[in-house]
Amino acid sequence: MTEKKSFIAEKIQALPYSGIRKFFDIANEIEGVISLGVGEPDFDTPWAVKERAIYTLEKCRTVYTSNAGLLELRKEISKYLKRKINCDYSYNNQIIVTVGASEGIDIALRAVLNPGDEVLIPEPSFVSYKPCIIMAGGIPVVITTKVEDNFRLTPEEILEKITDKTKALILPYPNNPTGAIMEREDLEKIAEVLRERDIVVISDEIYSELTYGNKRHVSIAEIDGMYEKTIVLNGFSKSFAMTGWRLGYAAAPADIISAMIKIHQYIIMCAPTVSQYSAIEALKSCNESIDKMRKEYDRRRRVMLKGFRDMGLECFEPLGAFYQFPSISVTGMSSDEFCEKLLYEEKVAVVPGSALGECGEGFIRCSYAYSIKDINIALEKIERFVKNHKK
């Protein structure tokens, strides 16, 4: 008999599982693990949002919405974007409501890529970009951001990687996992490189509400000449503590949104209806909840940063999102080895930096979307571990 052929497409066979998943599979098997691993707010979804969900169910508003999303929600998103990034997006044809920013990443790439097109991705960064580019038929081209540059993207690095096949740039700021942000001057310089070129920017702004030290998030869409070539992605998961509601959105020039709706209507139909009604409430009345969460994240950020520095780990000061990315070079271990040993010896789960790009090797990602109590216990354990394993 001939050997049984795999039913799985070669492209998918070649795709690795996320390096984050492996650790959480192990961590779930061990009792009493303290995790700083997951990028998920520990706060409850604001009550006003939950109340709106209950009301929506009571009213039996549980049918499909239009493909682009509820008109009332798109109107609120349009107002929110005007308020926050001072860009005008028409609720009629420039906004689509998606299943999280995750779907936004996927359909944005599928909408713009032809086979063989190159996409620039600064790394370390979120695990989904590379696989989504590959699944959309594109070729990921990594740009390594460096701690010396505060993990910001520089125009020189972009110029070095641009070819005549470059179709898009993913701009992942505030950044997961480094916590880096891009300020207006940084974006102006990048815009100078991109303005005259046919390159689409996919700006993942899911952490836009989480910036610290009086640094307001600036979107590249705000910069002169960039609105016309930028797809802004955002969502409710991080800012509003709504990860499980699976709701995000994209805003872009009308022709791009129209192409994204074409894909979305065939594969998704519409984002979850109850979540959409509830998100209207989030945008209308939850500013205060965001402020409270941001203040608390900031407190934890400072505690964690001091903790790492006090134990002798070099750590870049994050100004956005809710992650820290300390170097573990004093131990001489690889990121994987460090995380695995830390899990077995101290029952603390963190993410190997290498899971977020090859250049993340030698770092670990620790989320501070956990209680101060858990953060302090984890820091004590990591300190003991580092002391025991110093080179």
* Binding residues for ligand PLP (CB under 6 A): 39, 100-102, 126, 172, 176, 204, 206, 235, 237, 243, 248
Q: Give the residue with the Cβ less far from ligand PLP, 91 or 129.
A: 129
Q: Give the residue with the Cβ less far from ligand PLP, 45 or 176.
A: 176
Pair 104, 236: CB distance under 8 Å: no
Q: Give the residue with the Cβ less far from ligand PLP, 126 or 385.
A: 126
CB of 238 to ligand PLP, least distance (A): 7
Pair 281, 48: CB distance under 8 Å: yes
The tokens for 16 are: 């690795």
Q: CA triplet 337, 343, 346: central angle to 5 degrees? A: 120
* Helices assigned H by DSSP within the chain: 10-13, 19-29, 47-58, 71-85, 100-112, 129-135, 155-161, 184-194, 254-267, 273-285, 287-310, 335-346, 372-389
CB of 355 to ligand PLP, least distance (A): 12
Q: Give the residue with the Cβ less far from ligand PLP, 18 or 273.
A: 18
CB of 177 to ligand PLP, least distance (A): 8
In this structure, the number of other CB atoms found within 10 A of the CB of residue 154 comes to 17
DSSP letters of 115-138? Answer: TT-EEEEEES--TTHHHHHHHTT-
Q: Give the residue with the Cβ less far from ligand PLP, 180 or 206.
A: 206
Q: Residue of minimal CB distance from ligand PLP? A: 100
CB of 77 to ligand PLP, least distance (A): 14
Parallel, antiparallel, or unpaired for β 351-352 and 364-367?
antiparallel
CB of 114 to ligand PLP, least distance (A): 24
